[in-house]
Amino acid sequence: MQSDKYLSSYLSSFSRLKETDALYRHVASLPTMDEIRRLEDCLLSLLYPGRNMSAKQESMEAAVRFEMEFFISMLRQCIYLALKYEEQDMAECELKEKTEWAVDDLMKNLGKIRLLLKKDAQAGFDGDPAARSLTEVIICYPAFKALAVHRVAHHLFCLGIPLIPRMLNELIHSETGIDIHPGASIGESFFIDHGTGVVIGETCVIGSNVKLYQGVTLGALSFPRDACGQLLKGAKRHPTIEDNVTIYANATVLGDIVIGHNSTIGSSCWIKTSVPAGTRVLNKDPDVVMIRKA
């Protein structure tokens, strides 16, 4: 075979081949991104029945039951495999118990998540003069799709489910250009206009009635380390955005700071310190030079 002359030297790059074989079998059992994509499709079809196969059902209740059965089955499989990979010392009965607990918790709260999404869609419709209907916002706006997946991923993240929340959000990131870490906490009636290039970090806390435009970054200014120089995981390092804040295109807000309620951050501003409530932050107008073409 054509690989024979390369195989031995390549395998030498793995530290311990026997242990690597075991790891390979372990990793190979993880959900693939294609499976996570199917999970995402099932989720969106459940949130908005009738868009896929459920359209053939005779009633709304039948359509919801149809989509819910598919979603629960896929969700159970993905969570179980992720837990089995992450919790290698956990007994089989415990893995199944934790899987069922997580599925049950999400499904009990899925109606509440959907009500939040209705408020997000309304915020999108109210905040965008180009929107012709709520249906247009729900079906066409990439920011709304990203937020729908994020709200479910965030719930799983808060339950301590490994890998799946991040895989969901990285999938939607690749589809929409909107990067929301599943750890970010987002209040109701949230809207991202256009959406492309928005980044929202893991420890961001966003209040209600907040609106972002394209290119906004809510990021970390620095990364705290322990006495040994290792990065501290989970430390608050991203902004808190209070209620009724608007942040315009390409603004960058960095660090564990607070943007006070009812504030406005203008386009392309670079913010590294807290902003008091009711403040408007703007860059000075640049000098514009116009030269007539010869």
Per-residue pLDDT of 42-85, as tens digits, reads: 999 999 887 666 667 788 888 888 889 999 999 999 999 999 98
Q: Residue 227 has what pLDDT?
A: 64
Q: Residue 90 has what pLDDT?
A: 85
CA angle, 146 then 204 then 244, to 5°: 80
Same domain, 161 and 200: no
What is the strand order of the sheet 240-241 is part of?
185-186, 205-206, 240-241, 258-259
Instruction: Name the residue among 160, 150, 199, 162 with its Cα closest to residue 81.
Output: 162
Q: Quick one: pLDDT band at residue 220, thresholds 50, 70, 90?
A: very high
Same domain, 213 and 152: no
pLDDT at 142 over 60: yes
DSSP conformational letter for 53: G
Which range, of 14-28, 119-133, 255-269, averages the lowest pLDDT? 14-28
Q: In this predicted model, which residue has the larger pLDDT, 239 or 14?
A: 239
Q: Residue 27 has what pLDDT?
A: 66
Instruction: Tell me what the mean pLDDT of segment 252-266 comes to.
Output: 97
Q: Is 268 left (phi over 0), alpha (psi -120 to 50) or beta?
A: left
Distances (CA, A) of 235 to 225, 263, 290: 10, 25, 48
Instruction: Tell me what the mean pLDDT of segment 226-250 comes to.
Output: 86
**Which residue pairs, CB below 8 angstroms and at least 24 apart, start in 194-198?**
194/143, 194/249, 195/141, 195/142, 195/143, 195/146, 196/142, 197/250, 198/143
Q: Quick check: helix, strand or coil at residue 41? A: helix
Q: Residue 12 has what pLDDT?
A: 79
Same domain, 129 and 20: yes
Q: Which amino acid is at 57?
A: Q
CA angle, 161 then 152 then 89, to 5°: 10
Q: How far apart are the first and last CA of the chain?
A: 66
pLDDT at 269 over 80: yes
Q: In this predicted model, which residue has the larger pLDDT, 19 or 175?
A: 175
Q: Quick check: helix, strand or coil at residue 280? A: strand
Instruction: Tell me what the mean pLDDT of segment 172-186 comes to.
Output: 97
Looking at the structure of the chain, the number of domains it has is: 2
Answer yes or no: is 6 within a domain. Answer: no
Same domain, 167 and 21: yes
Q: Quick one: pLDDT band at residue 102, thresholds 50, 70, 90?
A: very high
Q: Quick check: helix, strand or coil at residue 155? A: helix
pLDDT at 95 over 90: yes
Q: Residue 74 has what pLDDT?
A: 94
pLDDT at 14 over 80: no
Instruction: Tell me what the mean pLDDT of segment 217-228 comes to.
Output: 79
Same domain, 130 and 228: no
Q: What is the dihedral of CA 277, 189, 217, 224, to 10 degrees?
A: 70
Give the integer Cα–Cα distance in Å for 146 and 157: 16
Give the integer Cα–Cα distance in Å for 208 and 120: 10
Alpha-helical regions (H) of 189-288: none
Answer yes or no: is 3 within a domain. Answer: no
Q: Quick one: pLDDT band at residue 235, thresholds 50, 70, 90?
A: confident
Q: Which residues are paired to 253 by β-bridges? A: 218, 271
Answer yes or no: is 88 within a domain. Answer: yes
Q: Residue 63 has what pLDDT?
A: 85
Place of tokens 């919801």: 64
Q: Quick one: pLDDT band at residue 282, thresholds 50, 70, 90?
A: very high
Answer yes or no: is 290 within a domain. Answer: no
Same domain, 28 and 153: yes
Choose one of 176, 196, 217: the last residue of a domain. Answer: 176
CA-based diameter of the chain, in Å?
Answer: 80
Q: Residue 107 has what pLDDT?
A: 97
Q: Residue 25 has what pLDDT?
A: 62
Which domain does 211 fall in, by range?
184-284
Q: Is 208 left (phi over 0), alpha (psi -120 to 50) or beta?
A: beta
Answer yes or no: is 53 within a domain. Answer: yes
Distances (CA, A) of 74 to 31, 37, 65, 78: 10, 11, 14, 6
